[in-house]
Every structure is written in C-alpha cells, then in structure tokens.
Amino acid sequence: MTVLLHRLFAILAVALLLAPPVALSFGALPDIRYKLKPADGNRIDPLLGNGRIVRGGEAPGKIAFTFDDGPDHRTTPVLLDQLDRWGVKGTFFVNGHRFQERTAGAEENRAVLRDIHRRGHFIGTHTFSHADITALDDAGWKQEVTQVARQVEEITGRLPRLFRPPFGRVDDGTAERLRTEGYTVVMWNLDPLDWKSTTAGELLSRAQQVVEENPGGGIFLFHDTNRVTTRALPLILEWLAERNARRAARGEPGLELSGIDAFIHR
C-alpha cells in the first residue's frame, strides 16, 4: 500500500511539472477555453462563402453585430472586449488601406486584425479604399477586392469568405463575380447611423428605434472606427438584455444575440 502511494505521488508530481509547458504550447488557459467555444468563428468561417446575398431577414428572432471600415488600433480593441464580455461574435468588414505597410498605424492595425481572428470573431472584406465596386475595371477589382482578401489571409492565415460592398452598392454583374469568387455578400437592415451620432445616448436611441421598427431582428451596421460606437455598444447590449427580460416576463419572444453564421446557414 505504501509503495502504491509513493508511486501515485510520483505520478502527480511529474504531471504538475509537465503541466505548465503543455499549457504554454497551446497558449494561455483563457485562450484554450475561448477556442473551445462552439460558436468560434474560426471554425465556422470556411463554410460561409456560399455565394448568397444576405440582407438581414434570414434569421427571425436573431440580431448580429457587424462593423465596417476598420481595423483601428485605437477603437476596435475596445469593441472586441465588449463583445467578448457579452459572448457575442461580431463580424468585421475591413478596409485594406488600414493595414497597408506604408500607412500610419498599419503595424498596430495588423496586430488588431490578428486579434480579431484569434478571438474567434468573423472577418470579411470591404475593399481597399471603400470604393464603389460597380464602377471598377479588372485592374481596380484586383486591387480593391482580390488583393485585400490575400492581405487578410497573409495576416490571419485564413482567406475571408464574406464581403460587404461599400455604400451597399452591388449590381447583377458584381454580385455574380463575387459569387463565382466564393464570397457571400452581407448587407444589413438595422442602421442606427452611428457615423452621424455625436453622443452615446443619441446612438442608443437610434439603435432602439431601428430594433423596434424591425421586431424580427436582423443585421446591425456599425463602424469600429467611431469612438461614439465604442461608448454606445455596451449600452445597446444592456438594453437588448433588459428588453429580452421584459418580453420573457410577458411570455413573449426576445432577440437572440447571434453570429453572422446564423443568417447564412439556414
């Protein structure tokens, strides 16, 4: 019995000594737990490029949060922390000029893009310079669409399959070209005009209004370059949680905070 106990203690001691290197080889423990979440966008996004155009009405009862024009190392990380705190997977439609090497802040923005991917949020492209894709020739398409996707792949290791057209402009020709190149076009139906808002309270009010006008939910459009958005997002998330609680108390359905995958795979 004594020999057995000694062997048991020896095994436990070896296990304790080996534990730190094993954990470090896979990243910190919080990272491991994060990557095991079933809603991890890193596991789902290779399946998203089915060539559809998603407009916001495809998943009744759900709300997805999307952000255009980033990444911006001064504002995007704030939004990432807020989304993580609520367990929400956002979708970030990035502009290539933000992480081009000659651009100021490019190195920091590339690090933020890697962090978006590491945290398991979804990444799509939004052209290089926010160009109207319906006006592009082949050379312009290569720079504004194709090249940006390759840049994202170089930085994150994953080729993006989601695309949001600047100004929401897409015609039959560009829609077909995006489809054949393996993109899903993601539009929106909830636009609180965060770029026009001057205070968090104003943006909260606009978000509340568009939700009440669209009780079935849909896809929110925000901009992760906007400081007002960073201040308003937690207020909007809290309001949605309170709204859900009030509706549940009355036996009415609420709105589930969802990833963009819920709107694509139905």
pLDDT 10s digit of each residue in the chain, 266 long?
A: 444 444 444 434 433 333 333 232 223 333 333 443 444 666 666 778 888 999 999 999 999 999 999 999 999 999 999 999 999 999 999 999 999 877 789 999 999 999 999 999 999 999 999 999 999 999 999 999 999 999 999 999 999 999 999 999 999 999 999 999 999 999 999 999 999 999 999 999 999 999 999 999 999 999 999 999 999 999 999 999 999 999 999 999 999 999 999 999 75
Residues 6+ apart with CB under 8 A from 245: 254
The position carrying tokens 């009862």 is: 61
Are both 31 and 52 inside the same structural domain? no
Are both 28 and 51 inside the same structural domain? no
Nearest to 212, CA basis, from 256, 261, 255: 255
Examine residue 86 and state whether it is found in any structural domain, yes or no.
yes
The position carrying tokens 């919080």 is: 30
Examine residue 42 and state whether it is found in any structural domain, yes or no.
no
- Residues 137-164 as b/e (b if ≥16 CB within 10 A, e otherwise) read eeebbeebbebbbebbeebbeebbbbbb
Can you tell me the distance from the alpha carbon of 44 to that of 41, in angstroms, rounded to the nearest whole number? Answer: 5
Six-digit token string for 178: 């995006």
Are both 31 and 126 inside the same structural domain? no
Are both 32 and 58 inside the same structural domain? no
Task: Say if residue 180 is exposed, middle or buried (CB neighbours under 10 Å; 0-12, 13-18, 19+).
Answer: exposed
Q: Supply the CATH number for residue 146's domain.
A: 3.20.20.370
Residue 266's pLDDT is 58
Are both 9 and 135 inside the same structural domain? no
Residue 100's pLDDT is 85
Residue 161's pLDDT is 95
Are both 247 and 131 inside the same structural domain? yes
Are both 12 and 102 inside the same structural domain? no
Examine residue 237 and state whether it is found in any structural domain, yes or no.
yes
Are both 125 and 224 inside the same structural domain? yes
Are both 9 and 110 inside the same structural domain? no
Domain of 28, in residue numbers: 1-36
Examine residue 41 and state whether it is found in any structural domain, yes or no.
no
- Name the 3-class secondary structure at 124: strand
Domain count, the chain: 2
The position carrying tokens 């060539």 is: 51
Are both 96 and 151 inside the same structural domain? yes
Examine residue 11 and state whether it is found in any structural domain, yes or no.
yes
Are both 58 and 32 inside the same structural domain? no
Are both 9 and 141 inside the same structural domain? no
Examine residue 21 and state whether it is found in any structural domain, yes or no.
yes
